[in-house]
Amino acid sequence: MDQGSGAEVMYPDLFKGLGLKKEDLSKYNTPLVAFDGQMVILEGQITLPMNMEGKEVMVTFIVINSFSPYTAILGRPWIHAMRAVLSTLLVKVKFPIEHGIVVVRGNQQVAKQCLVAAVNQEIKQKEPAAQASL
């Protein structure tokens, strides 16, 4: 979950894991800029139901074809639809359901591993450009 993201993003592993095909996608024409400021190649978009702890909302994912240790990023549209409150420090999300509040806890160790993998991948991608300029 990313409070700074204005879009929900799906990466190839999840797209393939759900058994989706390119024919399932609709066109998405708005440019998307990655965390590193680079333009991202978009495959398209798809709207799917997403269920968390019994609360279901429809989510429109932008599907991109690039490396990520994450399977998807849930941004502000999903956070608002769920009426969720996030704690990145505690890796926790809370949201209301019909009979109270649900708390979903993440795993700080896995979150750190994903961050390290993403940073390492970015370093690897920049190495050839740095060596070429020498």
Domain membership of residue 1 (yes or no) is no
Prediction pTM value: 0.72
Which residues are within 8 A (CB) of 39 and not within 5 positions of it... i.e. 6 or more apart?
Answer: 31, 32, 33
What number is the average pLDDT over the span 61-87?
85
* pLDDT tens sequence across 76-132: 888 889 899 988 777 788 999 988 998 988 766 766 666 666 666 666 666 665 555
CATH of the domain at 96: 2.40.70
* pLDDT at residue 6 greater than cutoff 70: yes
pLDDT for 93 equals 87
User: Per the structure, how many domains does the chain have?
Assistant: 1
Which residues are within 8 A (CB) of 68 and not within 5 positions of it... i.e. 6 or more apart?
Answer: 11, 118
In the β-sheet with 8-10, what is the strand arrangement from edge to edge?
Answer: 42-52, 55-64, 8-10, 72-73
pLDDT for 53 equals 86
The residue range of the domain holding 62 is 8-132
